[in-house]
Chains A and B, each alone.
Chain A
Amino acid sequence: SAVISQKPSRDICQRGTSLTIQCQVDSQVTMMFWYRQQPGQSLTLIATANQGSEATYESGFVIDKFPISRPNLTFSTLTVSNMSPEDSSIYLCSAGDGYTFGSGTRLTVV
């Protein structure tokens, strides 16, 4: 199975700013997925990122708030824009092999 490097592992950000999270996969994968895990909750799928096309967002998530890039088959970024304290969560990426998750980015917005 693939190995994912996700960074940053954690960050504390000021409200109104943006943070870009990066995921690098050690092999080519067609799809990558981005999840959010709010404190004490399960994982919620944000969007599916395919290389060469626009990301597909789940209900409740919009591109203006969570723009995603997928420039090639091994890399993707998720940006959390115009952050508020409600965006404080763990953000995780997953490779489309069905097996592998990044270690997560713990975001705190103050």
Chain B
Amino acid sequence: DAKTTQPTSMDCAEGRAANLPCNHSTISGNEYVYWYRQIHSQGPQYIIHGLKNNETNEMASLIITEDRKSSTLILPHATLRDTAVYYCIVSPQTDKLIFGTGTRLQVFP
């Protein structure tokens, strides 16, 4: 399975955009980029996923580079409730998900 590299932690001011990077330089052609987050003491929450095109939903935007070796999750207007650990995972669709260590995002007032 391809592996991902994420910064251990990031801070973001409330109301500002949070840009969370992820490197996945060994991604295979059939692997999607998934993003999940885990708020303390809860199960992981799906955010967004994509194959090669940029994606947007009500929660976030996913920007994937043309060579697919990296991506960025964008929370356009971070709130205190977005404080969580964010996981970037690459996997074939509906296959098992292997979690890395993620990025701990702290949104401050």
Question: Residues on A close to B: CB < 8 A?
Answer: 1, 6, 30-31, 33, 35, 42-45, 48, 92, 94, 96-104, 106
Contacts and interface: CB of A to CB of B under 8 A. Distances in A.
A78 to B, nearest CB: 14
Contacts of A33: 96-97
Given A1-B46, A33-B96, A103-B43, A98 B34 contact: yes
A6 B44 CA distance: 13
B97 A94 contact: yes
A98 B99 contact: no
Which secondary structure dominates where chain B touches chain A? loop
Nearest to A97: B94
B42 A44 contact: no
Contacts, number: 48
Given A92-B43, A97-B94, A103-B42, 5 more contacts: A42-B99, A48-B96, A92-B44, A98-B94, A106-B41
Interface of B: 34, 41-46, 49, 85, 87, 91, 93-102
Contacts of B102: 42
Nearest to A106: B41
A45 B98 contact: yes
Contacts of A94: 44, 97
Given A33-B96, A48-B96, A97-B94, A42 B101 contact: yes
Contacts of A106: 41
* 8 closest cross-chain pairs (CB), A and B: A101-B43, A99-B46, A43-B99, A42-B99, A101-B44, A103-B43, A98-B94, A104-B43
Contacts of A1: 46
